[in-house]
Structure 1
Amino acid sequence: MSGQRPKLISIDAFAKTVEDARIRTTSGGIITLLCIAIVLFLIRSEYVEYTSIITRPELVVDRDINKELDIHLDISFPNLPCDIISLDLLDETGDVQLNVLRSGFQKFRIIQDSNGHKLEELLDVDSTPLNNDISLEELAKGLKEGEQGHCGSCYGALPQDKNQYCCNSCESVRLAYAEKLWGFYDGSNIEQCEKEGYVKRITERINNREGCRVKGTSQINRISGTLDFAPGASFTMNGKHVHDLSLYQKYPDKFNFDHIINHLSFGAIVPDGLSTHPLNGHSSSLGAKDHMFSYYLKVVATRYEHMLSKKADTIDTNQFSVITHDRPLKGGKDEDHQHTLHARGGVPGVFLNFDISPLKIINREEYAKTWSGFVLGVISSIAGVLMVGTLIDRSVYAAEKAIRSKKDL
């Protein structure tokens, strides 16, 4: 055992000095106190970092691509009556959902009272632009041979020589006009619309310069597509999506698609601190009648996993980025884009073009440091401060010694 002691002594990295050989100075005491203060500060900083919770993002493939996507929308059109606006959905599969306003969204009339204050009033369901859910054959069903009954005029839009079609309502006449691609305007001089009060209601709302607010929640397929707000009845003809712009164009000094996006989000609604809603509060007020507003959205599925909560508290939602663009339908250059030549044509309106990303972002909460990282940080802080303190103490002691030797000379 005694033979092994010299071997262990030879590899001792912590050589000791004799107490009598140590020299203590005032400057060394000051440096020691400073080192202790710095070490305590660094240890506290390491502890704060160790106990702080951060969110680390992780990018994975989205496996929930077949689930439907909730869209929460709240948008106001101050210069457009609700009876003129239609909302349609077109996706990349070629499917077209006409009049999405019937599935989860509601219209609110923006009117002014006698004092000039703006009020909102829920619009009745009968004032939607056009009922595309019912076929023309069912809506304008004719009389069978020998059957007695009233057969309203379709005003040349449908054959009626044998009463094969009967337009007994304003809605049936509107749909018949749409099939012929005829402009319906405000329905004036059409007996069915005059009797139902459609013409009077439309005229009053136009003359009062009413606005419209559309808000609600609906579900769409997780497929890239377009939500478009456009004027007039919408329908599909020969594979093309078209709108009846006759009433919108009838009044050259009225109507435009100036708008305010009060809220737009996809998926579950989460606090603003977690998810970004970049279009909330966005407004456009150009006052141009024939203008197209386009928004290009990149929607990314997002999950928030809280460290201290249960798995059931995990939030699945979506975030999106957006690029905005607008142009006049007449094409050419405008004041804002002197070096850009805009395309000509199109439909006035607001178009939300969304692209669904196949990836998902997982934001997972965790501690900023592990236990081993905290211990390593503390040891490194102590060792580093002591090493620097030793170097400073030696330098100060050497300087003091040199000064004293000069004085003695």
Structure 2
Amino acid sequence: MPRDTPSQLTVPRGPSPRESTRIDVCCFNPLGFVNELYVDDPDKDSGGKIDVSLNISLPNLHCELVGLDIQDEMGRHEVGHIDNSMKIPLNNGVGCRFEGQFSINKVPGNFHVSTHSATAQPQNPDMTHVIHKLSFGDTLQVHNVHGAFNALGGADRLASNPLASHDYILKIVPTVYEDKSGKQQYSYQYTVANKEYVAYSHTGRIIPAIWFRYDLSPITVKYTERRQPLYRFITTICAIIGGTFTVAGILDSCIFTASEAWKKIQLGKMH
């Protein structure tokens, strides 16, 4: 059954209140959106996979130490994933920018940036970082749908403890956009929580890493593009005009009442 879309996943963004009056009066936008929530896997042709795009900079860690590891509840455990990825040296080779595209299974799991795949482990790896992009699935080519498709884009942890691990807990939400012709595009939004910590075991300090732990929401968000009927535009205009006259009447009444009260006060002083 259709329900309202949660605000944290962001519905199509409209104009500000100041802009809306001008736009509604001057022109008629025939396209609108219906937002729905339902339980299903909308992209059944994906083979149980989700494409991931990650772009992250570690300005104080050499590229030969940086690696990507992938694990999940289906038994996948891949250390040092290198397919469709590149490492770009930063700061004269002191740091590294990792860019990669890979796929994950539609089961709970994690992928993490670490030094686990390095031939020799550094003594004190510095995991301070900036996340430029983390997105799942295809990018929606729709200008007026602004959701949490890159919620971690711009996350800056350069001021963090260099020896700390970072946990990003992601809830991935399938998202469908259907245009007025019925064509559908599939993507994923996500919500995120994070924590930072220095971990220890009985053998000493644990090598830090940047963890992205994910789970999939059973709820799908769907944006459906619909042509707005003309009567809705007329109703909006009537509401704006009616509201304007109501506010003007209230202000006029207040001013008149205040004026009469002032006149009575002045007459009282004269007597």
CA RMSD of aligned residues (A): 3.5
- Contact 1:300 1:359 (8 Å CA) reproduced: yes
Match status 1:258 vs 2:258: no
Match of 1:278 among 131, 141, 151: 151
Alpha carbons of structure 1 residues 376 and 319: separation in structure 2 relative to 1, 3 Å: closer
Match of 1:348 among 184, 198, 208: 208
- Structure 2: which amino acid aligns with 1:58? E
Task: Specify every segment of 5 or more residues in structure 1 that has no aligned partner in the other structure, as ranges.
Answer: 1-43, 113-208, 235-243, 332-343, 383-409
Match status 1:91 vs 2:72: yes
Match status 1:320 vs 2:190: yes
| Structure 1 residue 81: Cα displacement | 0.7
Task: Please state whether the residue corresponding to 1:247 is helix, strand or coil.
Answer: coil
Match of 1:71 among 37, 41, 52: 52
What is the alpha-carbon distance in structure 2 between the residues aligned to residue 326 and residue 52 of structure 1?
47
Match status 1:105 vs 2:85: yes
- Contact 2:140 2:186 (8 Å CA) reproduced: no
Partner of 1:12: none
- How do 1:124-273 residues align onto structure 2 when only pairs under 5 Å count? 210-233=94-117, 247-249=121-123, 252=124, 255-270=125-140, 273=144
Match of 1:291 among 143, 164, 188: 164
| Structure 1 residue 45: Cα displacement | 6.1
- Structure 1: which amino acid aligns with 2:32? I
| Structure 1 residue 329: Cα displacement | 2.4
Partner of 2:34: 56
Percent identical = 24
| Structure 1 residue 366: Cα displacement | 2.0
- Contact 2:80 2:116 (8 Å CA) reproduced: no
| Structure 1 residue 219: Cα displacement | 1.7
- Contact 1:256 1:287 (8 Å CA) reproduced: no
What is the alpha-carbon distance in structure 2 between the residues aligned to residue 345 and residue 317 of structure 1?
39
What is the alpha-carbon distance in structure 1 between the residues aligned to residue 138 and residue 76 of structure 2?
25
Task: Specify every segment of 5 or more residues in structure 2 that has no aligned partner in the other structure, as ranges.
Answer: 1-22, 242-271
What is the alpha-carbon distance in structure 2 between the residues aligned to residue 47 and residue 111 of structure 1?
52
TM, length-normalised to structure 2: 0.67
Partner of 1:124: none
The structure number with the bigger radius of gyration is 1
What is the alpha-carbon distance in structure 2 between the residues aligned to residue 373 and residue 273 of structure 1?
20
Number of residue-to-residue matches in the alignment: 216
| Structure 1 residue 99: Cα displacement | 1.9
What is the alpha-carbon distance in structure 1 between the residues aligned to residue 177 and residue 140 of structure 2?
10
Alpha carbons of structure 1 residues 348 and 54: separation in structure 2 relative to 1, 3 Å: same
Task: Please state whether the residue corresponding to 2:177 is helix, strand or coil.
Answer: strand
Higher strand share: 2
Higher helix share: 1
What is the alpha-carbon distance in structure 2 between the residues aligned to residue 372 and residue 305 of structure 1?
23
Partner of 1:360: 220
Partner of 1:82: 63
Alpha carbons of structure 1 residues 97 and 248: separation in structure 2 relative to 1, 3 Å: same
| Structure 1 residue 278: Cα displacement | 1.5
- Structure 1: which amino acid aligns with 2:33? T
| Structure 1 residue 94: Cα displacement | 2.7
Per-residue CA deviation, residues 152-182 of structure 1 (Å, 9 max, x unaligned), is: xxxxxxxxxxxxxxxxxxxxxxxxxxxxxxx
- Contact 2:79 2:116 (8 Å CA) reproduced: no
TM, length-normalised to structure 1: 0.46
Alpha carbons of structure 1 residues 381 and 264: separation in structure 2 relative to 1, 3 Å: closer
Per-residue CA deviation, residues 202-241 of structure 1 (Å, 9 max, x unaligned), is: xxxxxxx61111113112212221011111427xxxxxxx
